[in-house]
Every structure is written in structure tokens, then in C-alpha cells.
A and B are shown apart, each in its own frame.
Chain A
Amino acid sequence: MGGLFLDPEGERRQLPAVNAAALIQFAISAIAVAAMVGLAALATRGRGAPPLDEATARRWLADEFPGRALDGLWLAADGKGCVARSDDRALILTRMGHGYAARQIAWAQVSAASLQDGRLRIPLGDVTAPRAILAMTAWPPKELAA
């Protein structure tokens, strides 16, 4: 690095070799990344987060939305998230790795969402969580549809 400015001519001569070395290093690093991800997949196979149950969902919601009372809670059929109602707000958890992403939107948006192929698709309007997709057996829930 120091030679870059103390010996410009020498540095120019070295550039092709430096570039080749950098490319080789990048290629080896890419292979190593693929290997490490593969190893992580193998090592964690069958060790995913357990399906979300009501107690766990309530605990997560209490952490994410402290002080909010829940008027209703609906778990996804595959245990990968839930929708809760709190006054006029919908509190949503969706599985992310071994954790969850939580968002709140107007309840009206969630109640208006439709079920397609057993999946409730809720647009969240957030660049960091564009939509929540939850497996539901029925929507809106019977108790609210009545």
C-alpha cells in the first residue's frame, strides 16, 4: 500500500499481478462461503424453530408490542406466524430464521385480505418486510366474520 504513492511506476507494473491475486482470493473466498453455508445447512437440519404455539406467540407479542392488550390471536396453520388484534391494529409475527419479524398495521387491512390457496397474503408496505404470508385454514376468522 505504501508503495502506491512512493513509487507510482513500480506500482503500475505490479497492478496486473495484484488484480490476479485479488481475483483468486475472491474466488477462493466465494467457494469457502458456499462450503460454510452448506455446512450450516447440514448441521442445523431438523433443528429449526418449533412451530409457534399460543404461549410463545403471546410472549413474542408482549416483547414486541409492550402494553398492548390482545382482543384475539390467530396462529398460522404451519406455526410460522400469527395475527393478533389489538383495538384497531393488527399485530403480525412472521417467522424469520429462528426468530420473528413483527409489524403492526391497521386491522381493516388484515380483515380485508383474502385467502388464496390456504395462504393469507398481507401487504405490509415496508421495504424491510414487504408482505406477510401466513398459512390459514379460514379467513376472516369465524368469530369476526359473524
Chain B
Amino acid sequence: MKTFDPVTLATPFFIITVILEIVLARFGKLKADYETADTAVSLTMGLISSLAGVITAGASFAAAVWIYQHRLFTIPMTAVWAWALVFFAEDLTYYWFHRLSHERRIWWAAHVNHHSSQHYNLSTALRQTWTGGVAGTWALWLPLSFLGFPPAMVAIEKGVSLVYQYWIHTEAIRRLPRPIEAVFNTPSHHRVHHARNPRYLDRNYAGILIVWDRMFGTFQPELDEEAPRYGLVHNLGTFNIVRVAFHEWIGIAQDIARSPRHILGWLFGAPGWSPDGSRDTSAKLKAEWAARQTAPPRAERDAA
């Protein structure tokens, strides 16, 4: 059976829309904040990620095929119901992959570079990982092949999800009609996901359907009174692309070398985890932020 790669097909669309966003923003026709070095890093990360992906794609696809040979059911790739089913199954898998990628440091190391821009525009969508294959998160999709979805079908659906998530990386679209915002991941929901404001940290992990976040308690709407500030809790102080790609892996290695007996914590703790709790995790930052909201203003404290 002939198959296709949605990402390859969409590449001309990516290029045209980035160009349009830059030009229209230049003439004040839409909101988009581009910066040359930042754009160069984002697009080069995307370009090289396509090469890096090839290196591990064979192994991950071979694993999927091996699993598929031991499948529970045989799901036909030609049936409409099968495509409907794989859409939901893949999107749910993506939610958990994405959540894990934010909540466990070893997988955050592979994903962090996607969040490392302080800008939020279509080029940010292309700031993709070089180390996702090595991190092994592709294994999360293997149960779909075990259920009986053909590996090619799963790969196509993953591509569809990636292409969908491209257009939501924009400030040009404010809010979509309420029924769409209720069901789908939108630019507004995803701006929250990319924000570093404590209130917005670790929220909106959805791929296509935002309903998973609503179901699992990780949904946060974008609030008019709190504009998203993009990037990392501790923003990068360099545009060096090698540091952008590997900094968290290097940080993990340094931590393990410094304190090997805490290796499990360094690898599988939350990003920012440390044995003495001295570093900033999302949970800690959110708790401190929440405490500040209920604390009396500083002037009142000083007067007391």
C-alpha cells in the first residue's frame, strides 16, 4: 500500500505561511514578533531535526512492525471507522507523551528546546527536537500497533497531528468561536502552553483535541488580564544552537557526575528537581505564585 508523509506534504505550506506572517507583521496587518537570531535558531532546529529523526526512525518503525506482528486485532487501514479510531487513540497518546515530556526531566531534555524561544510565532513551531528519538518517547505509540493499527497508519496520524499543531503557534489569531475553543487545541490554548507565567506552567498539553486537558485537569484558559510571557522559567542566555539543543542533557550529566546516588531523581524527577529542593520546579513556582496572591501587599506587611 502506498503511504504518504503529511509533514513532507505540508512543508511548502510551512514556508509560505512563515513568509506571510513575517511580511504581514512588517506592514502591521497582524500581530507577530520576529527576531532574526531567534528565527534562525528555530528554523535551523527544524531543518536539522528532520535529519536527526531519520537516524532513529528506522529503529522505532521496526519496533512498531515487530509489535504489530503480535497484535491483538487486525484493523483495516481502508476503513473510515479505523481512521476515526486512530485519530482519537493517537491524540490521547500524544497528550500523555507531551505531559510526560514536561513532567519528567529525561524527556523534558528532549522537548525543552521547543519552548526555548521568548517569541511565539510560526517559526517557533518548527523549533523541533534533535534528541526525541534517543529519548525513546516513540515507545508510547507502540500499544497502538499492539492493538492492531498498522504502523504506517499510526505514522500518518502522528504526521497529521504535527501538521495541525503548526498553525496554532501564532499570536495573529486571538480567539476562535467558542465551540472550537471548547473542543480543539487553538492558538489561544497553545499560547498558554508556551507561557512561563507560573499560573500557566504545565498546562494545555493537547495535540489536536483540548478535551484531554479538560478531562485530566490540566486545562488553563488564556486570561485577558495576564498576557503570556514566552520561553523557559530560566531563559537561555545564548543563541548557540548546540547549547539550545543539548543544554538540558548536559545539565543532567553534570548533576549525575556531581551526585551519582541521586541519578533516578536527576533523570526521572520533575524538571528543576534537586535533592535539597533548592531549585525551581513548576510545582514550587506555582505554589509561590499562589502564596503571593493571597499574601497582603508588601506595604501592609511592612506596616504590620
- Residues of A at the B interface (CB closer than 8 Å) are 1-6, 22, 25-26, 29-30, 32-33, 36-37, 39-41, 43-44, 48, 63, 66-67, 94, 96-103, 124, 126-130, 132
| A101-B36 contact in complex given A66-B288, A66-B292, C-beta closer than 8 Å | no
A99 to chain B: closest residue by CB: B118
B175 at the binding interface (Cβ < 8 Å): no
B289 contact set on A, CB distance < 8 A: 66
Apart from A2-B151, A43-B34, A66-B289, what 12 extra A-B contacts exist at CB < 8 Å? Answer: A1-B5, A1-B155, A3-B1, A29-B50, A36-B18, A37-B39, A40-B22, A63-B229, A67-B292, A97-B37, A127-B247, A128-B236
B43 at the binding interface (Cβ < 8 Å): yes
Contact present for B11 and A127 (CB under 8 Å):
no
Expressed in whole angstroms, the minimum distance between the Cβ of A82 and any Cβ of chain B is 14
Contact present for B47 and A128 (CB under 8 Å):
no
Contact present for B118 and A2 (CB under 8 Å):
no
- Nearest 8 pairs between A and B by C-beta? A129-B237, A101-B237, A99-B118, A97-B35, A43-B26, A2-B152, A40-B39, A41-B36
A63 contact set on B, CB distance < 8 A: 229
B251 at the binding interface (Cβ < 8 Å): yes
Can you name 30 A-B residue pairings with CB atoms under 8 Å?
Answer: A1-B151, A2-B2, A2-B152, A3-B2, A4-B61, A4-B65, A25-B8, A25-B11, A26-B51, A33-B43, A36-B19, A36-B22, A36-B43, A39-B23, A40-B40, A40-B123, A41-B36, A43-B25, A44-B34, A63-B229, A67-B292, A98-B38, A99-B118, A99-B231, A103-B234, A127-B243, A127-B247, A127-B251, A128-B234, A129-B236
Expressed in whole angstroms, the minimum distance between the Cβ of A120 and any Cβ of chain B is 15
Interface residues in B24-47 by Cβ distance below 8 A to A read 25-26, 33-40, 43-44, 46-47
Contact present for B44 and A33 (CB under 8 Å):
yes
Contact present for B243 and A37 (CB under 8 Å):
no
A1 contact set on B, CB distance < 8 A: 3, 5, 61, 151-152, 155
B15 at the binding interface (Cβ < 8 Å): yes
Partner of B250, one of A33, A100, A124, A127: A127
Contact present for A43 and B243 (CB under 8 Å):
no
| A33-B47 contact in complex given A128-B237, A128-B247, C-beta closer than 8 Å | yes
A2 contact set on B, CB distance < 8 A: 1-3, 150-152
Complex CA distance for A128 and B233, rounded to whole angstroms: 12
Complex CA distance for A129 and B254, rounded to whole angstroms: 15
